[in-house]
Amino acid sequence: MADTLSVTRREKLGTANNRRLRKAGSVPAVLYGHGEASLSLTVPATELMAVVRHGGKLVQLNGDVSESALVRSVQWDVWGKEVLHIDLLRVSEKDKVETEVSIELRGTAVGVTEGGIIEHVLHEIEILCPAMAVPDKLTLNITDLHLNKSIFAKDVPLPEGATLITDEDALIVHCVPPHVEAEAGEPGGGAEPEVIGKKEKEEAEAKKA
């Protein structure tokens, strides 16, 4: 389901004007694609953050522009707290788009009861998907994941009509034994620390002999 964003045409461009927009509670945006001219827009920051927080991809633009679009890229400030700019790609029902979608793990793996721990290795995969079916996220059930077993990109359920772009053998999640570091002096723990002066004493005694 598409989220809704209210958009207004942006007449004044440039860094200074964009800074003023952000202080006023709006975010600069650019809409492009389908061979049409790019449009400079503004979006209310509160609406945009609501979309970004839940990973929304497909949006319906209302206001000065009425089109369906895909959130193509989001530019954050250096602290990752404020959105500075977004790119929006025009899409239609017939379009297929390449996009990265986050993976959310669901369930408690049986491997945890077998003494293992879960490592979520890859958090996003890239797919080719009908524009109107782009999901906010992909859900992966790990209930049946046993100790020393893995789930790969090819195992992630995709929306109807979508195909995987990421390498199908890319590791998404696995259940592994806990990492235990050997203590000093134990097998695999490294050599015993050398006592200060021990080497010099041994060399002196060797010379006397």
Residue 168: is its pLDDT beyond 80? yes
| Cβ atoms of 168 and 126 closer than 8 Å | no
| 174, burial (CB in 10 Å: exposed 0-12, middle 13-18, buried 19+) | buried
What are 147-153's contacts with CB under 8 Å, separation 24+?
147/111, 147/114, 147/115, 147/116, 147/175, 147/176, 147/177, 148/111, 148/116, 148/174, 148/175, 148/176, 148/177, 149/111, 149/174, 149/175, 150/174, 150/175, 153/122, 153/125
Residues contacting residue 158 through CB under 8 Å, at least 6 positions apart: 127, 129, 138, 164
The one-letter amino acid at 206: A
Closest to 119 (Cα-Cα) out of 144, 138, 147: 147
Residue 161, helix vs strand vs coil: coil
- CATH number 2.170.120.20 given to 98-176: yes
Q: What pLDDT score does 125 carry?
A: 96
Where are the domains positioned within the chain?
3-91, 98-176
Write out pLDDT tens, residues 180-204. Answer: 554 444 454 444 444 445 455 555 5
Q: Which helix (H) or strand (E) holds 68?
A: strand 67-76
173 residue type, one letter: V
| Amino acid (1-letter code) at residue 110 | V
Q: How would residue 207 be classed by pLDDT, with cut points 50, 70 and 90?
A: low
pTM comes to 0.69
Which residues are registered as beta bridge partners of 61?
5, 67
Rounded CA-CA distance 151/116 in Å is: 15
Q: Tell me the mean pLDDT in the region 172-187.
A: 71
Consecutive H or E run containing 140 = strand 137-141
User: What is the C-alpha separation between 3 and 181, in angstroms, rounded?
Assistant: 48
Q: Does domain 3-91 bear CATH number 2.40.240.10?
A: yes
pLDDT in tens, 142-164: 999 999 999 999 999 999 999 99
Model pLDDT for residues 92-151, shown as the tens digit of each residue: 878 899 999 999 999 999 999 999 999 999 999 999 999 888 888 999 999 999 999 999
The predicted-structure confidence for 64-84, as pLDDT tens digits, reads as follows 999 899 988 888 888 888 888
